[in-house]
């Protein structure tokens, strides 16, 4: 089997050709197709960058399939796309950061010769989640990889990685799709009404995965609307505290909904693997394995909560960006058109400087959360700025 370090493989992607699952990135596909067909000029370390939802990981695995499988070998291509080929190693962390021991295991596998395919490929989906010490573990492997090993890193932008990493990779930047293109794709995939699909694509700011969730989940659309309207009602410190608490509570419930079913399935599977009947006590000899699984699930829940709050901050950023645009007299391409009357009123009341201050505080809050500041306190501080127009 292919190796996924500390992360379960996602559902298999069924495609006749490795590139069939890639959408809207024709230039990038042509670049990687040319590279895969030219062993002599092949670059052995790549960085694929693009905004969330642009298809970085999908493209990375399509490239891996083209590198590993012989042309026309549909079985091997499907194995790579399903993350099960022995010559593919992938890392998709569900924790807050990539741990240094995970990076060391990747480097170890990078020096294995391909067992069946033409290349061994190492895909790191969340390369921006490496601390400096962890990134340094990869440096030599990226600079001098074995002849038949190819590294493919994915991140939102090259600025998210250390300069020493960037200097050792070839960067491929993906284009951001148009709202109309994402809406058409979502309608085709989900059967969503064209109006809902367009609104979801716009609210998701062209993030395909998030747009698909909004289009198919009325509760998610309602939570987003409630969050923005709650921020618009903030007038003082009491409102800021109340709104911050409700935002964190909504994000917590959302995170639990996304992870609870999977957590239960993982615990049940481990108990079956260990031969523990349902309802029976856990023998002392295997308690450590269950404890390790629970620890991993707690770390995953922490990341899921932080990701949920980050999505809230992205939504708030989009709203105050609209206020800024309206303040400059521009009313085209508003992200939150449904709130236009309220946003026009806010743009009339606020100075441009105040709106920019709020946007700066949102960006600062995002950075603070990355440094493990308590989410409720970080949001309270940000919303006090919203209420007063001054930094606390």
**What residue has token string 């340094």?**
136
Residues in the chain: 392
The last residue of a domain, from among 173, 193, 213: 173
Closest CA to 211 of 314, 302, 300: 314
Report yes or no on 223 lying in a domain: no
State the pTM of this model: 0.68
Query: 293 and 147 in one domain?
Result: no
CB 11 within 8 A of CB 108: no
Query: 118 and 14 in one domain?
Result: yes
CATH number, residue 82: 3.40.50.300
Report yes or no on 122 lying in a domain: yes
Report yes or no on 161 lying in a domain: yes
- Which pairs count as long-range contacts for 66-70, CB under 8 Å and 24+ apart, including other chains? 66/18, 66/19, 66/32, 66/33, 66/36, 67/36, 67/117, 67/118, 67/119, 67/121, 67/150, 68/114, 68/116, 68/117, 68/118, 68/119, 68/120, 68/121, 69/18, 69/117, 69/118, 70/117, 70/118
- What is the rounded CA–CA span in Å between residue 15 and residue 86? 19
Classified as helix, coil or strand, 133 is helix
Report yes or no on 272 lying in a domain: yes
Query: 265 and 164 in one domain?
Result: no
Report yes or no on 205 lying in a domain: no
Which pLDDT tens digits describe the chain residue by residue (392 residues)? 344 443 333 444 444 467 887 877 888 999 999 998 887 677 899 999 987 777 889 999 999 999 999 888 889 988 998 888 999 998 877 666 788 888 898 888 888 889 888 899 999 988 888 888 888 888 888 887 788 899 999 998 888 888 999 999 999 999 888 899 889 989 988 899 999 999 999 999 988 888 988 999 898 899 899 999 999 999 899 999 999 998 888 888 777 776 776 777 777 887 888 888 877 888 887 788 888 877 777 777 777 788 888 889 999 999 999 999 999 999 888 999 999 999 999 999 999 999 999 999 999 998 888 777 888 999 999 999 999 887 77
How many domains does the structure of the chain reveal?
2
The last residue of a domain, from among 173, 201, 216: 173
For residue 322, the surrounding DSSP H or E stretch is helix 287-327
- What is the rounded CA–CA span in Å between residue 19 and residue 348? 49
Q: Identify the DSSP state of 374.
A: -
Report yes or no on 249 lying in a domain: no
Strand pairing class (120-124; 88-91): parallel
- What is the rounded CA–CA span in Å between residue 365 and residue 149? 39
pLDDT of the residue at 15: 43
Range(s) of the domain holding residue 157? 3-173
CB 60 within 8 A of CB 215: no
**Which residues are CB-contacts of 106 (< 8 A; sequence separation ≥ 6)?**
5, 89, 91, 122, 124, 138, 141
Report yes or no on 264 lying in a domain: yes
The last residue of a domain, from among 128, 151, 173: 173
Report yes or no on 209 lying in a domain: no
* 123, two tokens: 């895909």
Query: 274 and 163 in one domain?
Result: no
pLDDT of the residue at 94: 64
């Amino acid at each position: 089997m292919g190796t996924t370090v500390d992360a379960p493989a996602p559902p298999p992607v069924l495609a006749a050709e490795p590139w069939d699952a890639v959408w809207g990135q024709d230039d990038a596909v042509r670049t990687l197709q040319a590279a895969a067909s030219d062993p002599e000029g092949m670059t052995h370390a790549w960085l694929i960058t693009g905004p969330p939802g642009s298809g970085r990981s999908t493209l990375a695995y399509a490239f891996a399939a083209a590198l590993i499988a012989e042309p026309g070998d549909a079985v091997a291509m499907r194995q790579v796309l399903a993350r099960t080929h022995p010559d593919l190693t992938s890392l998709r962390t569900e924790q807050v950061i990539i741990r240094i021991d995970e990076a060391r295991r990747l480097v170890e596998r990078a020096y294995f010769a391909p067992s069946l395919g033409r290349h061994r490929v190492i895909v790191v989906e969340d390369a921006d989640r490496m601390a400096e010490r962890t990134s340094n573990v990869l440096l030599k492997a990226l600079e001098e990889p074995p002849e038949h090993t190819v590294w493919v890193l994915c991140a939102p932008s090259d600025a998210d990685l250390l300069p020493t990493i960037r200097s050792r990779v070839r960067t491929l930047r993906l284009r951001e799709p148009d709202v109309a293109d994402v809406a058409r794709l979502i309608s085709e995939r989900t059967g969503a009404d064209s109006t809902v699909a367009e609104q979801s694509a716009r609210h998701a700011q062209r993030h395909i995965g998030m747009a698909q969730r909004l289009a198919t989940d009325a509760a998610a659309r309602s939570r987003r609307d409630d969050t923005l309207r709650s921020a618009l009602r903030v007038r003082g410190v009491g409102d800021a505290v109340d709104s911050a608490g409700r935002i964190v509570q909504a994000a917590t419930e959302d995170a639990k909904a996304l992870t609870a079913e999977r957590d239960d399935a993982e615990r049940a599977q481990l108990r079956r693997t260990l031969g523990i009947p349902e309802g029976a006590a856990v023998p002392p000899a295997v308690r450590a394995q269950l404890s390790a699984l629970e620890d991993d699930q707690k770390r995953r829940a922490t990341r899921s909560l932080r990701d949920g709050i980050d999505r809230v901050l992205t939504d708030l950023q989009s709203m105050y960006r609209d206020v800024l645009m309206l303040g400059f007299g521009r009313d085209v391409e508003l992200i939150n058109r449904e709130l236009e009357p309220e946003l026009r009123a806010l743009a009339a009341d606020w100075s441009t400087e105040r709106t920019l201050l709020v946007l700066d505080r949102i960006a600062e809050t995002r950075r603070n959360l990355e440094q493990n500041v308590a989410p409720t306190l970080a949001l309270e501080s940000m919303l006090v700025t919203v209420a007063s127009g001054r930094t606390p």
